[in-house]
A and B are shown apart, each in its own frame.
Chain A
Amino acid sequence: MSPTNYLLLSALLFSIGTVGVLVRRNAIVVFMCVELMLNAVNLSLVTFSRINGSLDGQVMAFFVMVVAAAEVVVGLSIIMAIFRTRRTASVDDANLLKY
């Protein structure tokens, strides 16, 4: 199977993640969509690693995973904090700062 297909799959996953960010209201789901985008990139990295015949891309994928994990910690704590004060995790309700 041609590696190009993996790249297409990766682009598709990235797009799904992007659309998810745009359409979902729950902050946690939005955040999960961002994680989906990061993992789609991971797929790309590994595929390119395969195409290029170097291991760099796979190493990078590990880095991305670690960074994503750190992002989860920070992200969930922020979402938790706002949930505690507002009793809602909808991103559309956080709408005081505008214009």
Chain B
Amino acid sequence: MSSELLSQLPPVAPASGAGSAAWILVALPALGAAVLFLGGRRTDRWGHLLGTATVLLSFVYGVVLFFSALALPGEERVRDLPLYEWFASGSLSVEFGLRLDPLSLTFVLLITGVGSLIHIYSVGYMAHDENRRKFFAMLNLFVASMLVLVLGNGFLTLYLGWEGVGLASYLLIGFYVQRPLAASAAKKAFLMNRVGDVGLALAIFILFAQLGTTQYTEVFARIGELSPGAVTAVALLLLLGACGKSGQFPLQAWLPDAMEGPTPVSALIHAATMVTAGVYLVARSHPIYDLTPTGQLVVTIVGAVTLLIGAIVGCAYDDIKKVLAYSTVSQIGYMMLAVGLGPIGYAAGLAHLLTHGFFKAGLFLGAGSVMHGMADETDMRRFGGLWRHMPITFATFTLGYLALIGFPFLSGFYSKDLIIEAALGGSPVRGWLLGGAALLAAGLTSFYMTRLMLMTFFGPERWRSLTPRSAPWDPSLESEAAPQHPEPGHGSPEHYHPHESPPSMTVPMIVLAIGSVGAGAFLVIGERLGGWLEPSIGPVREVEEAVIPTGLVPGIASVLMLLGAGIAYLTVGRRPVPVERPQRVSLPVRAARADLYANTINEKAIARPGIWLSRALVYVDNRGVDGAVNGTAALLGGASGRARRTQTGFVRSYALTMLGGSLVLVAALLAVALP
């Protein structure tokens, strides 16, 4: 097995030509961040321009590198650029360098490309924020860290970027620090990410302790030397890291809360780039996963569970950004499922990652544009009929929406079908379970996204007939949902003046919409992406023995998509949407009695279980997973607070503590040492 695998690993050539200066990619945004952080108020006037320019330049350079790599024959496309020896002493030897190969270059283009658009968008979006400079500094820091993450040529370099994006994301989620929700969301994101980080760090330590190196080249060449158990342990620990960063089950709960950050952040970090780091990690470590079927199986299960959870919970929220956030969780579940499937899925997962980067970023920017026009409102019940007022936003949002639900011949259609086909392969039981989950979630995606579209852009203009504010329903913020702009009159009709956003915001949306339409076809037809990525992740394998003939998959997926959209139209589009969330009595039994959707028998048969399920999952999410996180935090805080009281300030009680410790130590040593 391992020898066969080793032969698949392409040779690694040293980088030359344009590639030899690839460090510029990282250096530019890092420089931008440093100047903006250290420059202080002096850079307030032009800081955002500098921040945007550095990322744009990085993108241009990335394109140059991409074409120079295209010009190389396939087997020379994997190149290493050693920068310097980070440490070397006796048993320790770690090199700091960059890995330029199709996989990393693909991510470079995604990160810098989408990153540039979002920087441009933020110039307009954050125009009135007095901390705009700081915001751009952190965006730059994020882009630089993310580039280190994908460009590093070893696990330690990856870890450097990993910590960096975690830090930047923590800071950006908590950007509106004066809002308690933002602070607690940042805390939750931080804690859950740390759980993942510990997993990643342990995996790296194990590799280092066993192999004495963390460079990809050597680790992948010698991974066969490890015992199967160790390989599986490493694979599972890496997966834990990936789950934390990518918001995968069971660590998914931080991602929706992270929407408390400014919308461009949601688009850049929590939709397009950082959350895909986990997928990148698994794809990058494919030689490890290829050796451990158990590890792969766990990855697929995590992916399948997550994509279902995300899709089901997405149906329950009224907050436009939260729905998109759960949609992100679900779509990344698709990618995780795909890369867990092994060589048949790598290319599919990465294709979906790229198309998702386009349409989800576009959708988030669209949502931001809606919020911009609606005084930062996020409750969809207070929208309605907006298509007349913001036509460009509406048009781009619609394209993103169609791409996401897999409307034929748009981006999502191609990439999602690839994943579903791959998931249907393998043994029948596995194929039905995984493929069935993927198909079911496709229908659900269509349902919640259609609901979002209908509530936001169609129907009566509910914001015209609002009574002053009452809090939007959201399970996580029931008690403390503070209006974001507490000036008088908020929530009354006069407060809303929907309008189209400035060009700096609409242009990126248009660009992303074009990508949402065309990227899928471009990447998938003729296996362009698969062929390009082959040196990094091996050749694409065809699906064998699928439980449903692959030719039928696009048809079935389309039918499910139409079904989901149809149900959404029947339940939401045809009837007035109450502005206030119907009173929720208790969960989960009374919840099913909520009369929001249930009018006809037809609806009862389909909608009620759906509502019940989604509410139940929301409940579990909040009380279970969130409960675990918050519980851990509360436990630590409480333990800390109580233990703190033992530091009484009395010197005699300190002496007593020391004596107690000494006695225990003496007793334990004597007990252990003396038979």
- From residue 49 to 92 of chain A, which have CB atoms closer than 8 A to chain B? 91-92
* Complex contact A91–B652 (CB within 8 A): yes
Which residues of A lie under 8 Å from residue B645 when comparing CB positions? 99
* Complex contact A98–B647 (CB within 8 A): yes
Task: Considering the complex, give the chain A residue whose CB is closest to the CB of B646.
Answer: A99
> Chain A: interface secondary structure?
loop
| B: contact size bracket | 10 to 19
* Complex contact B644–A22 (CB within 8 A): no
Does B651 have its Cβ within 8 Å of any Cβ on chain A? yes
* Complex contact A92–B650 (CB within 8 A): yes
Task: Considering the complex, give the chain A residue whose CB is closest to the CB of B653.
Answer: A22
- From residue 1 to 51 of chain A, which have CB atoms closer than 8 A to chain B? 18, 21-23, 25, 30
Which residues of B lie under 8 Å from residue A96 when comparing CB positions? 649
* Complex contact B649–A91 (CB within 8 A): no
Complex-state Cα separation, A50 to B645, whole angstroms: 48
Complex-state Cα separation, A99 to B641, whole angstroms: 9
Give min CB distance, B489 to chain A, whole Å.
Answer: 46
Give min CB distance, A81 to chain B, whole Å.
Answer: 16
* Complex contact A98–B648 (CB within 8 A): yes
* Complex contact A22–B647 (CB within 8 A): no
Task: Considering the complex, give the chain B residue whose CB is closest to the CB of A91.
Answer: B651
* Complex contact B659–A22 (CB within 8 A): yes
Which residues of B lie under 8 Å from residue A21 when comparing CB positions? 652, 655
Which residues of B lie under 8 Å from residue A22 when comparing CB positions? 652, 655-656, 659
Complex-state Cα separation, A92 to B648, whole angstroms: 10
Complex-state Cα separation, A47 to B648, whole angstroms: 39
- From residue 405 to 455 of chain B, which have CB atoms closer than 8 A to chain A? none
Once A18-B659, A22-B659 are accepted as A-B contacts, the answer to whether A99 and B647 lie under 8 Å apart by CB is yes
* Complex contact A98–B652 (CB within 8 A): no
Complex-state Cα separation, A35 to B645, whole angstroms: 30
Give min CB distance, A35 to chain B, whole Å.
Answer: 15
Give min CB distance, A92 to chain B, whole Å.
Answer: 6
- From residue 83 to 109 of chain B, which have CB atoms closer than 8 A to chain A? none
* Complex contact A91–B650 (CB within 8 A): yes
| A: contact size bracket | 10 to 19
Complex-state Cα separation, A25 to B652, whole angstroms: 8
Which residues of A lie under 8 Å from residue B659 when comparing CB positions? 18, 22
Give min CB distance, B10 to chain A, whole Å.
Answer: 60
Which residues of A lie under 8 Å from residue B648 when comparing CB positions? 95, 98
Complex-state Cα separation, A38 to B337, whole angstroms: 68
* Complex contact B652–A92 (CB within 8 A): yes
Give min CB distance, B198 to chain A, whole Å.
Answer: 29
* Complex contact A98–B655 (CB within 8 A): no
Complex-state Cα separation, A99 to B644, whole angstroms: 5
Give min CB distance, B164 to chain A, whole Å.
Answer: 35
Which residues of A lie under 8 Å from residue B656 when comparing CB positions? 22
Complex-state Cα separation, A91 to B655, whole angstroms: 12
Complex-state Cα separation, A97 to B644, whole angstroms: 12
Task: Considering the complex, give the chain A residue whose CB is closest to the CB of B648.
Answer: A98
- From residue 622 to 659 of chain B, which have CB atoms closer than 8 A to chain A? 644-645, 647-652, 655-656, 659
Instruction: Please pick, from B644, B651, B655, the residue contacting A94 in the complex, using a CB distance under 8 A.
Output: B651
- From residue 657 to 675 of chain B, which have CB atoms closer than 8 A to chain A? 659
Instruction: Please pick, from B649, B651, B655, the residue contacting A99 in the complex, using a CB distance under 8 A.
Output: B649
Task: Considering the complex, give the chain B residue whose CB is closest to the CB of A21.
Answer: B655
Task: Considering the complex, give the chain A residue whose CB is closest to the CB of B659.
Answer: A18
Complex-state Cα separation, A98 to B645, whole angstroms: 8
Which residues of B lie under 8 Å from residue A91 when comparing CB positions? 650-652
Complex-state Cα separation, A98 to B647, whole angstroms: 6
Which residues of A lie under 8 Å from residue B644 when comparing CB positions? 99
Which residues of B lie under 8 Å from residue A99 when comparing CB positions? 644-645, 647, 649
Task: Considering the complex, give the chain B residue whose CB is closest to the CB of A95.
Answer: B649
Complex-state Cα separation, A98 to B646, whole angstroms: 9
Complex-state Cα separation, A95 to B650, whole angstroms: 6
Which residues of B lie under 8 Å from residue A97 when comparing CB positions? 649
Which residues of A lie under 8 Å from residue B649 when comparing CB positions? 95-99
Give min CB distance, B207 to chain A, whole Å.
Answer: 42
Give min CB distance, B326 to chain A, whole Å.
Answer: 42
Complex-state Cα separation, A3 to B650, whole angstroms: 39
Complex-state Cα separation, A96 to B652, whole angstroms: 14
Give min CB distance, B312 to chain A, whole Å.
Answer: 46
Complex-state Cα separation, A99 to B647, whole angstroms: 5
Complex-state Cα separation, A99 to B654, whole angstroms: 12
Give min CB distance, B258 to chain A, whole Å.
Answer: 34
Complex-state Cα separation, A18 to B659, whole angstroms: 8
Give min CB distance, B536 to chain A, whole Å.
Answer: 55
Give min CB distance, B659 to chain A, whole Å.
Answer: 6
Complex-state Cα separation, A18 to B652, whole angstroms: 11
Give min CB distance, B648 to chain A, whole Å.
Answer: 6
Which residues of B lie under 8 Å from residue A23 when comparing CB positions? 652
Complex-state Cα separation, A33 to B645, whole angstroms: 27
Which residues of B lie under 8 Å from residue A94 when comparing CB positions? 651
- Pairs A–B under 8 Å by Cβ, sample size 21: A18-B659, A21-B652, A21-B655, A22-B655, A22-B656, A22-B659, A23-B652, A25-B652, A30-B651, A30-B652, A91-B650, A91-B652, A92-B650, A95-B648, A95-B649, A95-B650, A97-B649, A98-B647, A98-B648, A99-B644, A99-B649
What would 14 more interface pairs be, CB under 8 Å, given A22-B655, A95-B648? A18-B659, A21-B652, A21-B655, A22-B652, A22-B656, A23-B652, A30-B651, A30-B652, A91-B652, A92-B650, A95-B650, A96-B649, A98-B648, A98-B649
A-B pairs, 9 with minimum CB distance: A98-B649, A95-B649, A91-B651, A99-B644, A21-B655, A99-B647, A22-B656, A98-B647, A97-B649
Q: Chain A interface (Cβ within 8 Å of chain B)?
A: 18, 21-23, 25, 30, 91-92, 94-99
Q: Chain B interface (Cβ within 8 Å of chain A)?
A: 644-645, 647-652, 655-656, 659
